Amino acid sequence: MTTGVDVSSGITNAVTDFEGRPRGRRNERKSSRYDSRSMSAPPSAARAFGRRLAIALGVSALVMVVSVVAVNWVIERQLDKIEDVDVATAAAPPEGANYLVIGSDTREFVENAGQEEAFGDTGDVSGQRSDTMMVVHVEPGARRTLVVSFPRDLWVEIPGEGMSKINAAFNVGPDKVVETLKTNFGVEINHYIEVNFKSFEDIVEVIGSVPTYFPYPARDLNTNLLVGAGCVRLDGSQGLAYVRSRSLEYLNAETQEWFAADSVGDINRIARQQEFIRAMAGIAVAKSLDDPLAAWEITKDVVPKLKADTAFSEDTSRLFEIVDAFRSVNPADTSALNMQTFPWVSGPPTPDGQSVLYPDDPAWREMARRLGEFGGVTTTRGIAPSEVKLRVLAATGSEDIARSALNELVKKIGFQRGGAGEVNEAVPLTEVRYARGSQNAAKLLATYVLPRARLVLDPSLQGADVELVIGDDFQSILLPASLTTTTTAAAAVTPPTAPAEIAPVGDDGLTPAPIANESALGDPAPKLPPC
């Protein structure tokens, strides 16, 4: 069912010959002509999804659960049906929590021939990866939520495993994802939620179709997405194909040629996920609050499809606190439900030839700081700069650099002065050394050091809580954006530099999704209700 441009007539038979073309074939893409003789619909699902899954509904499921729980206390019993996952999460501060939402591409759930045909099995794709990774930053008191999507190709250090794409951390386990976010970005995770792609399809079917706008007829040969232009209601399988699409193409209806739609596949996909989440959350909240019976049915079917850390299902007081916040939040209000992409930059391939994205420094630090602040206070770190006594050391002959850095950290940020000096050892990488019991203080200090300093436990440290040891890689002290900053470089003091702004968002509050080849596609279909 569509509104806007009619699928059957408005796209001039824009249906691809999926039966006559090998699945996954991509060599007919940019200027391939549509064969109007074929009217075959795509298969209901692709057998081999490869590693291209993206499940955006995890956060929508979170919104659904916390929204419908408040409608009837009986629904609380459904929380017992959430499958527990043993994850070492940090204690949540009183003002809110960070929820790690993972979309897993595991095939472990496959039990019969029908599921094997639709999704493949562990013989097709073994192990598991997180093709969707989001941190949902909830502040119930402020009635606002920040959703940060992490690109799957982000190049990071996976503790104990070496450098890799961030989605590979999940193959080791949920704890490794939590540890990776903490090690690389200082982001604390308080709760964990996991959804696999079969659960995604089922949840969409329970909630109902999701109106989604397509400016042109669209397809993805890898996910078997095929839709007309206009406002299209996507069911479970179509929604899955849409949010996991990394090779989306649009049709020029006049020339019958398909053109690549994405400028950066992974980033454009994130924008589609965020769009789908917002629409999905709106439907779920509206249905749950308007109709108690619908709320019960949704919860009964949705909750058993989730996995979560034990504390999530046990801490009902926290759930009801979040519920109260969401009851008055309109998912379409971008100030209440703000969606962002973790700051990234393109760069050279890895030594083994992988195309990857890199954290955008210092913009990512500003984002990480937002994920650590609740109600304007940095509570996840559990400590303020004024409570931390700091000493700064530099290599022999560089004591002036140490003193300059210490002055900035004391005068402009508020750390306690613990002295500056020299260290009689080679320090190629900047370190934050900390005494026992001062790990939170060390993590706090590390957020102000560019590039990010590694944390080192030093049981013998005396006279200070933490010690910044400036290495050869040191660039500057990263000050809050509201201050006039001076950058303390390893060689000299340079003019003021301010942290980069968070990546801009579009007018609708979503991550921009620029259309590649837009000039070759003609006029887009009108965007009509309910889109």
66-86 pLDDT, tens digit per residue, is 444 444 444 555 666 778 888
Q: Check residue 372 and give its pLDDT.
A: 87
Q: CA 234 to CA 212: how far, in whole Å?
A: 7
Query: Quick one: pLDDT band at residue 55, thresholds 50, 70, 90?
Result: very low
pLDDT at 509 (0 to 100): 40
Q: Above 50 in pLDDT, residue 24?
A: no
Tell me the CA distances in angstroms from 174 to 85, 121, 166, 185, 377, one per residue in order: 8, 21, 12, 17, 28
Residue 187 makes CB contacts below 8 A (sequence gap 6+) with 98, 135, 181, 368, 371, 372
- Cβ 438 vs Cβ 458: under 8 Å: no
For residues 494 and 521, the model is more confident at 521
Overall average pLDDT of the 297-306 stretch: 73
pLDDT value for 318: 58
| Residue 295 host element (H or E) | helix 292-302
Show the beta-strand stretches assigned E in 89-209: 97-104, 130-139, 144-149, 155-158, 162-165, 191-196
Domain boundaries, the chain: 57-203+267-360, 385-494
The Cβ of residue 272 has, within 10 Å, a number of other Cβ atoms equal to 22
pLDDT for the residue numbered 285: 73
Is the per-residue pLDDT at 408 higher than 50?
yes
What is the tens place of the pLDDT at every residue in 308-335?
888 876 765 555 555 555 555 566 666 6
In this prediction, residue 313 carries a pLDDT of 67
Lowest mean pLDDT among 63-72, 262-271, 400-409: 63-72
Q: How far is CA 25 from CA 18, 60, 156, in A?
A: 10, 33, 31
pLDDT bin (cut points 50, 70, 90) of residue 480 is low
Residue 269, phi then psi, degrees to nearest 5 = -65, -40
- Reported as a pLDDT band with limits 50, 70 and 90, residue 52 is very low
Side-chain-facing half-sphere of 221: CA atoms under 13 Å: 20
pLDDT score recorded for residue 462: 92
| 78-92, 116-130, 229-243: least confidently modelled range | 116-130
CATH level 2 (architecture), domain 385-494 = 2-Layer Sandwich (3.30)
Mean pLDDT of the chain: 74
C-alpha dist (Å) from residue 250 to 8, 21, 183, 403, 492: 16, 18, 40, 58, 52
Q: What is the pLDDT of residue 483?
A: 39
**Residue 144 DSSP code:** E
pLDDT: is 141 or 460 the higher one?
A: 460
The residues, ordered by sequence, that sit 6+ positions from 495 with a Cβ below 8 Å of its Cβ are: 486, 487
Mean pLDDT of 408-429: 91
Mean pLDDT, rounded, for 193-213 = 86
The CATH architecture assigned to 57-203+267-360 reads 3-Layer(aba) Sandwich (3.40)
On the question of pLDDT at 219 being above 60, the answer is yes
For 512-525, the pLDDT digits (tens) are 456 888 889 999 99
Q: pLDDT category, 187, cuts 50, 70, 90?
A: very high
CB 275 within 8 A of CB 267: no
> What is the tens place of the pLDDT at every residue in 80-113?
677 888 899 988 887 889 999 998 765 454 444 5
pLDDT in tens, 369-399: 889 887 654 443 457 889 999 999 998 778 8
Are 247 and 226 in contact by the 8 Å Cβ rule? The answer is no
Is the full-model pTM beyond 0.95? no
CATH topology of 57-203+267-360 equal to that of 385-494?
A: no
Give the pLDDT of residue 119.
43
Check residue 227 and give its pLDDT: 97
Bigger pLDDT: 71 vs 437: 437
